[in-house]
A and B are shown apart, each in its own frame.
Chain A
Amino acid sequence: AQSVTQLGSHVSVSEGALVLLRCNYSSSVPPYLFWYVQYPNQGLQLLLKYTTGATLVKGINGFEAEFKKSETSFHLTKPSAHMSDAAEYFCAVITDTGGFKTIFGAGTRLFVKA
């Protein structure tokens, strides 16, 4: 069965610093990969997704992620953190062996220090 592992339940960066949130997946078939963000007291919303094609995908608010099949990874990055990026980030996977349902990782909470 497919699964998602997010390394680090909490990540703290200074404003202006690089953001790197790690995600590894397990799937025996090509996956669809997603990052969702949850701001305090709000619902989850899509940040970016990889389905097919270009392995570097760009999302909202300056975030991007790269699909690396050889490493089974889909790490999320942003060159320069902003205070408004403080939120919880979830990596998620869909495979066609999983009934096309979305499976989420445990999440990484991002703290941004002034």
Chain B
Amino acid sequence: DTGVSQNPRHKITKRGQNVTFRCDPISEHNRLYWYRQTLGQGPEFLTYFQNEAQLEKSRLLSDRFSAERPKGSFSTLEIQRTEQGDSAMYLCASSNWRTGGVGELFFGEGSRLTVL
């Protein structure tokens, strides 16, 4: 169990550029979640996958955001045409819904995005 890994840890970009974040979950976990966290707020749900299927996407999520989880392993979160309001910490978490530990999330350390 090497934990949830996120890359890059920090990203500074100019407004209008595209950025991509990668998340490698705990290997046996079938669910993978993306959250966004801004200063002074709790994690805000963005989307989640069960295996390779994207089961839900937040209605608050702009069409500029897209996530994939090919083959049910790692996941990527892409933000197109970034805006300053996208500046936040992007958190990835995984869980094993099959075998107890109901709903417990294991988080990575996050990817901090700064849009200039």
- Which residues of A are at the interface with B, using a C-beta cutoff of 8 A? 4, 6, 9, 32, 34, 36, 41-46, 49, 51, 90, 92, 94, 99-107
Contact across chains for A44 and B33 when beta carbons are under 8 A apart: no
A-B Cβ contacts below 8 A, count: 61
**B87-107 toward A: CB 8 Å interface, digit per residue (1/0)?**
000010100010000111111
Contact across chains for B43 and A99 when beta carbons are under 8 A apart: no
Contact across chains for B104 and A46 when beta carbons are under 8 A apart: yes
Contact across chains for B107 and A106 when beta carbons are under 8 A apart: no
- Which residues of B are at the interface with A, using a C-beta cutoff of 8 A? 4, 33, 35, 40-45, 48, 55-56, 91, 93, 97, 102-110
From B40, B41, B55, B103, contact of A102 by CB (8 A): B103
Known: A99-B56, A100-B97. A44 touches B41 (CB 8 A): no
